Structure 1
Amino acid sequence: MKVNAEQIPEPIALKNYSGKFMVRIPPEVHRALAIKAAETGISLNRLASSKLGQ
C-alpha cells in the first residue's frame, strides 16, 4: 500500500459503529420472524438482534 501511496485503513476493531445496518431477506422470512416476535411479545428488532448475536 505504501508503494502505491495508498493510505493504510483503520483496523475494523477500532472503528465506531452506529448499530444500524440494512439486510434484505425474502418476504416469507420477514413474515415468519415478525410472527415469531409477536408470539414471543418482543420487537422484531430485538428478535433479529438476538438471533444475530448467537
Structure 2
Amino acid sequence: MVDHKQYTYRVIWSEDDGEFVALCAEFPSLSFLAPEQSAALEGLVDLVRDVVADMAANGETVPAPLTGKRYSGKFQVRVPPEQHRSLAIKAAEQGISLNRLVSSMLSV
C-alpha cells in the first residue's frame, strides 16, 4: 500500500477564505482549510490517508506519489512554427543550442 505521507503537499494562504488551504498534487480534488498552516497540512494528510485506505479497500487504483517517479529530463513542447523560428534565431545569435536557450528560459 502507498504511504500517504510521501505525496506532494503544499499549504497556501487563501485570501477568499481567510484561512490556510492545504493541497495535494496527486489528489487535486482534495483540500483542507484551517486557520493555522500546520493544522491545514495535518488535516489534509489525515484526509489523504483515509482516501487512500478507502480506495485500496475498494480495489481502486491509488495514485503513485510524484516523489517516487523518475524523470528523464526530456519532454516535447509544440509551438507555432513562427515561434520555433524566432527561438532558433535567438539561440543562433547567442551561439547556443535551441535546447539550452529554452531550458534557460524555463528556469526563470
Q: Which has the larger radius of gyration?
A: 2
Q: If the TM-score is normalised by the length of the shorter chain, which range does it land in?
A: 0.7 to 0.9
1-structure distance, mates of 2:90, 2:58: 51
In structure 1, what is the equivalent of residue 58 of structure 2?
4
Q: 1:44 aligns with which of 98, 103, 106?
A: 98
Using the size of structure 1 for normalisation, the TM-score is: 0.85
Unaligned runs of 5+ in 2: 1-54
User: Which of 28, 50, 74 is 1:20 aligned to?
Assistant: 74
CA–CA separation in structure 2 for the residues paired with 1:34 and 1:9:
38
> TM-score, with normalisation over the residues of structure 2?
0.46
Structure 1 or 2: more strand by fraction = 2
Whichever residue aligns with residue 62 of structure 2, its letter is I
Q: Give aligned-pair identity as a percent.
A: 65
Alignment RMSD, CA only?
1.3
How many residue pairs were aligned? 54
Which runs of no fewer than 5 residues in structure 1 stay unpaired? none
More RCO (CA 8 Å, sep 6+)? 2
Using the TM superposition, give the Cα deviation of residue 7 of structure 1 relative to its aligned residue in structure 2, in angstroms.
3.0
1:9-48 CA-to-partner distances (Å, cap 9, x unmatched) read 2211221001111110000100000000000010000001
Off by >4 Å, runs of 4+ in structure 1: none
Q: Which moved more, 1:10-19 or 1:37-46?
A: 10-19
